[in-house]
Amino acid sequence: MENSEKRRTPIQTLQFTVIGISNAAVDIGSLNLLLLLHPTNHGVTLTLFNTFAYGLAVSNSYIWNSMITFRHAAKGSTKQRLGFFLQGLFSLLINNIVFLAFNLLFQSIGMPVWIRHNLSKGLAMFASFSASFFMIKYLVFKDRPQKKQPL
């Protein structure tokens, strides 16, 4: 790993985390709004609500991360957009699996609905956030080595 890459990683992690907090607000806020408007424990409906909320957060993530965190590597190319979309789908799969699994676990121990949904969502966000960072950094917005200019 080059020195510039080593110096950039902690800053990128901080930027990604701050943007992740705004994504979390969008994600959990929209999920809670949907659940407030239409309370449910039905797995398919919860998956649809979670998918919609996550989709809003991923859109927010792409906009901010391409402009700030990975601006040096974000070219806006079709390849990068497709890569971001595919990592988003994979992260969504992780998010939905963790959300539904913990929701069922917490339901089985009698946890109140609002706490159960939000705790499950928090765990799902952490799992997908972690996977997303590494996929975005090392696959989507991967730094290409600069060709050395002859002296």
Report residue 16's pLDDT band, with 50, 70 and 90 as the boundaries.
Answer: confident
What average pLDDT does this structure show over 25-50?
96
Q: What is the rounded CA–CA span in Å between residue 136 and residue 138? A: 6
As a whole number of angstroms, the distance between CA 52 and CA 38 comes to 14
CB 131 within 8 A of CB 94: yes
Checking if the pLDDT of 45 tops 70, the result is yes
Give residue 1's pLDDT band: very low, low, confident or very high (50, 70, 90): very low
The residue to which tokens 């800053």 are assigned: 11
* pLDDT recorded at residue 103: 96
pLDDT at 115: 96
- pLDDT tens for residues 52-111? 999 999 888 878 877 777 666 656 678 777 887 888 889 999 999 999 999 999 999 999
- Among 94, 91, 35, smallest CA distance to 61 is for 91
Mean pLDDT of the chain: 84
pLDDT bucket at 31, cuts 50 / 70 / 90: very high
Q: What angle do CA 34, 36, 41 make, to 5 degrees?
A: 80
140 burial level (CB within 10 Å; 0-12, 13-18, 19+):
buried
- Check pLDDT > 80 for residue 131: yes
pLDDT for 4: 53
The pLDDT, as a whole number, for residue 71 is 66
Contacts of 2 by beta carbon, 8 Å cutoff, 6+ apart: 145
